[in-house]
Amino acid sequence: MLSADSDSLFLVPEPLGVVLIISPWNFPLVTSAPLVQALAAGNTAILKPSELDPTFSAVFAKLVAKYFDEKEFAVVEGGAPETTELLKERFDHILYTGCPPVAKIIMAAAAKHLTPVTLELGGKNPVFVDESADLALLAQGIVFAKLLNAGQICVCADYIVTTPSMKPKVIAAVSSAFDALGDMSKVKENARIVNERHYQRLTSLLQKTKGKVVYKAGGEISPSDKFIPVHLIDVDVDDEFMKEEIFGPLLPILSLPSFDAAVDYIKRNEKPLASYLFTSDEAQSSRFIRETSAGGVTVNGIMSHCFAPGVPFGGVGNSGMGKINGKFSFELFSHEKPVCLKAGLTYKH
């Protein structure tokens, strides 16, 4: 049907139009960064930063107004009411980073206009530690995860699952790694809990749990400072800590009789944004990767797969849809249009 003598075929990346990006409070600039690819793809952009970062929001809005015409790129500040108003408008793509309940509202609003959505959510990211794990490496990973913004990051380690024989060793290794850091409340740069509501949410988990706190890092829980030291809590599967994404410095540890049982448990729950495995058994790690699903996986590390060039960043199932990171973001915000030209014509860009 097509012949190279007279026909030509192209894929032309085309901008979509007006892109809305709604970013969360935990890493406001990084999570807003896809606006760069939105503009690079030839769209205009509206950014709605989180109202839980009022200082960032105000400063960023002012700077954007100074460097951009609002017809190209504008910042809209505000909370739920402003976002609701914004969602009544029609966009050509909406990128939302946040939590599943709000994501459902956004997708439902987008459905009214058939606006494609990209949802970067989170999940209960498991850390499976098996008999052959390098515990020093694990402890290093946990320290990194729970100090990074006090665990308030979508790809954080949410809970540890291991075997009964490994559990005390895991607790010991993680405890001594945090002990070496001392009282983190004395370190001003160490992250605090973002606001009163999340602080209450986390401290009430400590009250509601039927589990046992087996380790508490240095420093005291402080309502005024919203500081919560890292806690390790030994729990059962039906505990409060195993219900929702924790998003904080509290780490439950669960023991299940076997690797099989752990894989089953992970499969029975919502697909997380990330899953982690510490092992030196290749068959075990391959099986874990094959049989459990997550946005992305790191074996013998935490978050190493995130934002690596060439790796799409995104969730699956309840942890999200669509992918960002570099070229993937560009593709998100463009339509790759097939163009066929016949009768000797070709397309000159």
> Does residue 41 bind other proteins (CB under 8 A)?
no
> Does residue 309 bind other proteins (CB under 8 A)?
yes
Least spacing, CB of residue 283 vs other proteins, in Å: 7
The neighbouring-strand residues paired with 79 are none
The one catalytic residue among 14, 70, 72, 120: 120
Nearer to other proteins, 80 or 108 (CB): 108
> Does residue 297 bind other proteins (CB under 8 A)?
yes
Which of 41, 95, 110, 217: binder of other proteins (CB under 8 A)? 110
Which of 35, 73, 92, 227: binder of other proteins (CB under 8 A)? 92
Give 7's contacts (C-beta < 8 A, 6+ positions apart).
340, 341, 342
Chain residues 11-40 in contact with other proteins, contact rule CB under 8 A: 11-12, 14, 16-17
> Does residue 243 bind other proteins (CB under 8 A)?
no
Nearer to other proteins, 99 or 181 (CB): 99
Dihedral-angle region of residue 100 (phi above 0 means left; psi in -120 to 50 means alpha; beta otherwise): alpha
- Residue 318 DSSP symbol: G
> Does residue 296 bind other proteins (CB under 8 A)?
yes
Amino acid (one-letter) located at 1: M
> Does residue 327 bind other proteins (CB under 8 A)?
no
> Does residue 346 bind other proteins (CB under 8 A)?
yes
Nearest CA among 98, 160, 96 for reference residue 124: 160
How buried is 39 (Cβ within 10 angstroms: 0-12 exposed, 13-18 middle, 19+ buried)? middle
Residue 120 annotated as catalytic: yes
Q: How far is CA 37 from CA 107, 138, 265, 323, 332, in A?
A: 21, 35, 38, 13, 9
> Does residue 285 bind other proteins (CB under 8 A)?
yes
Residues annotated catalytic, as ranges:
120
